Structure 1
Amino acid sequence: MKCQKSKFLLNKKYAYLNCAYMAPLLKKAEKAGRKGIAKKRQPNLISPDDFFHDLDTIKLLYSQLINAEKERITMIPSVSYGMAQVVHNLDLLKDENIVVCGDQFPSNVYPWMTACKNADAELKIIEVPDTTENRGKQWNEKILEAIDQKTKVIALGHTHWADGTLFDLMAIRKRCDEVDALLIIDGTQSIGALPFDVQEIKPDALVVAAYKWLLGPYSIGIAYYGEKFDQAEPIEQNWINRRDSEDFTGLVNYKDDYQPGADRFGVGEKSNFILNPILIESLKQVIRWQPAEIQTYCSELMAPAIEEIQSMGYYIEKDEDRSAHLFGILIPKEKQAAIATALKVNKVSVSMRGSFMRVSPHVYNDERDVNKLLRAFRSVC
């Protein structure tokens, strides 16, 4: 794949290696949003079908991306909302536990903290091993060892949001099956850039915010819910999630049953006439590129820089134990201020997460961006 910078309106003076923070909008996606705004100027042009058409398109596209049934997909406003649906239907007992990994993003921790507090259950936080020797491998082993017969839920990402460590979801799924535990995945930092197959991993829920690797807008997300939630009760009671809501003339004929599949969990006002068209264009482009090709591009782009930075004495996880689109560089405390200054001088955008500098390239990055990053490190060394 060639560099795709021309599809974006990024400032070429800056090296934006920070997609894990927030993705830039595609030109096509921005255009679609502007059309949505223009349409909202004349609401007489918005028909009842418009409340459903874009939603169906998003579900169809996303189902292709993750290899899932379209009916198991719905729209959410945030990861915390998607996780709240699971917690709401979790019959957690006092002697049970929930397993999460250490330093996980808060939206996939606070719901489980609250659930455990309310049930007086145990929250097992599996901290990262205090070593740089086979760090990722050992972390996965610790997670697997923590899952026992009393584990109700294991909740984590595919790749760690701060340092890119890959979690062995296939092995974790197998262990969950052995103890009848739910596997709940926050895919915000992976879906769209890292291959994910629902038919292989079989998550019970997969929750994703769209504004990162799906290249979508803020305040919109997508959730997949497996068969264990087919009869679950949603946290929100709104009109559009009820059966036959497409018939506007019959909305006062109140129904007890919900729309089929995961749409019972969809957020109210999910028919967003501005954000949904943006997401549609973004999903189409991600599918054209394919996550596997994005991984290859990022790996090949960053390989020379990673080798040089490692030669300077900085720790970066081994290739096989981390993602290519998101990885962490461990920055000693005594160098953090100098590195931050050097990045600013060289116009490089990355994120500090704990002691790690999180570097998250995409297909809009090129060698010039990588060279800016290297100049910043060379100036400190």
Structure 2
Amino acid sequence: MLSCQKHLFTLSPDICYLNCAYMSPLLKSVEEAGIQGIQKRRTPTEIKPEDFFVHSNQLKKLFAQLIHADNSQRIAIQPAVSYGMAVVAKNLDCKAGQNIVVAAEQFPSNVYPWRALAKEKGLKIKTIAPNNESKTRGKEWNQHLLEAIDKDTVMVALPNVHWADGTRFDLLAIRQRSREVGAILVIDGTQSVGAYPFDIQAIQADALVCAGYKWLMSGYTSCLSYYGEYFDGKKPLEEVWLARKGSEDFSRLVEYEDEYEGFAARYDMGGRSNPFLVPMMIAGVSQVIDWRPTEIQAYCKNLTLPLFTELEKLGYIFEQEDYRVAHLFGIRLPQNIAMEKVKEVFSKHRISVSFRGSAIRISPHLYNDEKDIEILINALKEADK
């Protein structure tokens, strides 16, 4: 099992940072890669034509390895989840009267594109909410999502892990049901890929979109996406010259080429070869691969075992183990504890978590240790007084 990796980060010892779902602290290696990129950019003669392609292709291969994709050309480099989902919205084959199934309170980037599309095309959005009072909340939520997928469903758009409270959705069952009715499956992997195992060949999602600044340990304005066969040959959001056949030959760029590079290259953003962000993403994704998501899960699970014991004693409400992940989970307050009191105590002890809806979102990583969990437990006890 992995040991604590705090030495690989620059974190203040005065802050109990349990908030990777908000934004990961920078690995020292990622920070250094960005600095080196900036330093190289000082002198344009150091940047060769091949630099516009080699590093981008390396990054795509790394992400393909992480999600177990057998073709790195199906990976696109983009700036944000909103961009990746806009590609989906632009290319969804749909007609009036069909529906899109989503989970309640998904992150907005996986909702706004479908609302706009529904208004334009006459679609219906079926939003499936959980029963927060149920002791089998996650199981029931998954079942209701399956039941919502019907003959009129054109797309199911979900996260792997709910961003607000860490509820895990059974993507294998959802994929099977969506295939039965001919609907595509689109996944926002931002809060899971990099910390929780994901196998695109097993799940066979049609699209997977992942922001990089959380569990992929990378910089902001960085996103990696996978597009399956459904999106082959469809329309990009922008006409990127780097995505055209033969663009490696700078001497022939004005011999305009209509044909794109294969598979998902057409969905790359303009400026995909950013000399600062791409090296940072390479460093971040490389480290995640080296750690392995299965080991990250095991570390976080072992680390938080004492926390869940105390949460149960204090009357906090949390998801059943079968429907939660170890790196991100929400806890809801018992009636005798006020949210404002919790916020006050956490601020006093410099505990960084996120408050999302009715849940306190806790998201540990390898830089956390037993001391961090002890500080959190003591703060929760203090809020109960």
Match for 2:152 among 150, 153, 158?
150
Q: CA deviation at 1:92?
A: 1.8
Q: In the TM superposition, what are the counterparts of 1:1-381 in structure 2 within 5 Å?
A: 1-68=2-69, 69-331=71-333, 335-381=338-384
Q: CA deviation at 1:332?
A: 5.3
Specify every segment of 5 or more residues in structure 1 that has no aligned partner in the other structure, as ranges: none
Is contact 1:132–1:315 with CA below 8 Å preserved after alignment? no
Is contact 1:92–1:115 with CA below 8 Å preserved after alignment? no
Alpha-carbon spacing, 1:330–1:130, altered in 2? closer, same or farther (3 Å): closer
Match for 2:131: what amino acid?
P
TM-score for both structures, normalised by structure 1: 0.99
Q: CA deviation at 1:331?
A: 2.6
Is contact 1:347–1:372 with CA below 8 Å preserved after alignment? no
State the distance in 1 between where 2:122 and 2:133 align. 33
Is contact 1:164–1:322 with CA below 8 Å preserved after alignment? yes
State the distance in 2 between where 1:296 and 1:154 align. 30
Is contact 1:116–1:123 with CA below 8 Å preserved after alignment? yes
Q: CA deviation at 1:132?
A: 2.9
State the distance in 2 between where 1:7 and 1:22 align. 16
Q: CA RMSD in A?
A: 0.9
Q: CA deviation at 1:257?
A: 1.1
Is contact 1:346–1:375 with CA below 8 Å preserved after alignment? no
Runs of 4+ residues deviating >4 angstroms: none
State the distance in 2 between where 1:104 and 1:157 align. 7
State the distance in 1 between where 2:380 and 2:135 align. 23
State the distance in 2 between where 1:242 and 1:124 align. 38
Is contact 1:144–1:172 with CA below 8 Å preserved after alignment? yes
Is contact 1:351–1:359 with CA below 8 Å preserved after alignment? yes
Identity of paired residues, percent?
49
TM-score for both structures, normalised by structure 2: 0.98
Is contact 2:21–2:214 with CA below 8 Å preserved after alignment? yes
Is contact 2:317–2:334 with CA below 8 Å preserved after alignment? no
**Which range moved further: 245-254 or 186-195?**
245-254
User: What SS does structure 2 have at the residue aligned with 1:49?
Assistant: helix
User: What SS does structure 2 have at the residue aligned with 1:245?
Assistant: coil
State the distance in 2 between where 1:172 and 1:99 align. 11
Q: CA deviation at 1:320?
A: 1.2
User: What SS does structure 1 have at the residue aligned with 2:272?
Assistant: coil
State the distance in 2 between where 1:183 and 1:62 align. 19
Deviations 1:53-82 (A, max 9, x none): 110110111111001021100101000000
User: What SS does structure 2 have at the residue aligned with 1:337?
Assistant: helix
User: What SS does structure 1 have at the residue aligned with 2:374?
Assistant: helix
How many residues are paired up? 381
Deviations 1:8-48 (A, max 9, x none): 00011111000000001111111111100100100111000
Q: CA deviation at 1:372?
A: 1.2
State the distance in 1 between where 2:284 and 2:367 align. 14
Specify every segment of 5 or more residues in structure 2 that has no aligned partner in the other structure, as ranges: none
